[in-house]
Amino acid sequence: MTPGGAVLAPPHLHAGARVPAFAWIAVACLLPSAAWGVLCYGRAALDVLAVAVGSALAAELAAAGLRRRFTLDDGTAVLTGLLVGLSMPPGVPWYVPAAAAGFGIAAVKQGFGGLGRNWMNPALAGRAFAALSWPAAMSAWLPTRFLPADAVSAATPLAAASAAGGSAGGPFAALAAAGHPFSGTDDAVISWLNQHLLSPLGLNAPRGLFDLLAGLRAGCIGEAPVLLLAAGAAVLLWRRVIRWEIPAALFGVFALLAGVLGGVPAGDGFFRGGAVFHLLSGGIVLAGFYMATDPVTSPMTRWGRVAFGAFIGALAFLLRFHGSAVEGIGLAV
């Protein structure tokens, strides 16, 4: 608040908290996922991440020069570039993440006045800009290094399950029936779990579950390591960088709709949609924890955040199951 009593633009932070501290904490929480993406996809993933972060910093520096303000040290440009890179396929040409990150910073963040005045998340804006401008390049998937040597398919599990159609056993069974490659680690872990822990309880874990949890699959650079994304989100929740209401409502509504209605389009009927599969595949975990919770563009009240997250979850379900694209979480947010 100014001496005259006017309220400045958000975000409004209290108790001595500062935007740079929050942004750098978020960057630190995303670095393990970025490292895992580079380990899975190699130099191509590292190049995409470097270009996205570099382009975001360049756009921020140019805008700061025009406004005669130095803003690189607040970490938000690095965070935006990192999120753009993590939401890209590892095989995408270099100019796509460069344009996406530059668009997010220049047009969405700085174009509307800088930090606290952007009308949508800059990283998501850049990702949507790239998806609309270069749709073919945004499907440049690469097979992970952890798949068998003879696995030539680079299709994501989400795309492969959609192409395979329905199955009485759900998406995991559809993948297995279509010959989708699974890692040897997945076979070993799932076999051990079923034999020693789950079978005595009358339960059975499907093939492919561990691959989705651990990120041993094709996909965007940062969407694969679900466990690392969740661990980073736990730190953000603990440090109160993000609030729990948006991701909880988003995941809850999406899982409910996917589990109850997700099998209907494939002809499997109700309650056969595979909620676990759809939560672990695609970019819903990355977007739900790290993008939908953007403090500038999300509601300030608790019930507002719940409604916001629930609406995103419902819209993500509609776009994924009834839209023209395989994934829809970015547009939903």
SS3 sequence of the chain: CCCCCCCCCCCCCCCCCCHHHHHHHHHHHHHHHHHHHHHHHCHHHHHHHHHHHHHHHHHHHHHHHHHCCCCHHHCHHHHHHHHHHHCCCCCCCCHHHHHHHHHHHHHHHHHHCCCCCCCCCHHHHHHHHHHHHCCCHHHCCCCCCCCCCCCCCCCCHHHHHHHHCCCCCCHHHHHHHCCCCCCHHHHHHHHHHHHHHHHHHCCCCCCCHHHHHHCCCCCCCCCCCHHHHHHHHHHHHHCCCCCCHHHHHHHHHHHHHHHHHCCCCCCCCCCCCCHHHHHHCCCHHHHHHHCCCCCCCCCCCHHHHHHHHHHHHHHHHHHHHHCCCCCCHHHHC
Does 1 have pLDDT greater than 60? no
Q: Which of the listed ranges 66-75, 123-132, 142-151, 245-254 does the model predict with the highest average pLDDT?
A: 245-254
Residue with tokens 């740079």: 20
Percentage of the chain exceeding pLDDT 70: 86
Query: Tokens representing 298?
Result: 């999300």
pLDDT band at residue 16 using 50, 70 and 90 as cut-offs: very low
Looking at per-residue confidence, does 111 or 87 come out higher? 87
**Mean pLDDT calculated for residue range 167-189:** 80
Instruction: Spell out the residues 6+ positions from residue 92 whose beta carbon is closer than 8 angstroms to its own.
Output: 48, 130, 134, 137, 138, 140
C-alpha–C-alpha distance, residues 96 and 244, integer Å: 32
232 burial (CB, 10 Å; 0-12 / 13-18 / 19+) is buried
**Mean pLDDT calculated for residue range 110-130:** 84
Does 303 have pLDDT greater than 90? yes
Query: Tokens representing 20?
Result: 């740079």
238 burial (CB, 10 Å; 0-12 / 13-18 / 19+) is exposed
Please state the pTM of the whole predicted model. Answer: 0.88
pLDDT at 146 (0 to 100) = 77
17-20 LR contacts (CB < 8 Å, sep 24+):
19/74, 19/75, 19/76, 19/115, 20/73, 20/74, 20/75
| Spacing of C-alpha 80 from chain mean position | 13
**Mean pLDDT calculated for residue range 301-320:** 94
Spatial contact of 251 and 244, defined as CB atoms under 8 Å apart: no
pLDDT band at residue 69 using 50, 70 and 90 as cut-offs: confident
Looking at per-residue confidence, does 198 or 17 come out higher? 198
**Mean pLDDT calculated for residue range 20-34:** 89
Does 80 have pLDDT greater than 90? yes
Instruction: Spell out the residues 6+ positions from residue 87 whose beta carbon is closer than 8 angstroms to its own.
Output: 123, 127, 220, 221, 222, 223, 283, 286, 287, 330
Does 24 have pLDDT greater than 50? yes
Least confident of 15-24, 269-278, 292-301: 15-24
Spatial contact of 307 and 299, defined as CB atoms under 8 Å apart: yes
Does 320 have pLDDT greater than 90? no
Query: Tokens representing 290?
Result: 């790290």
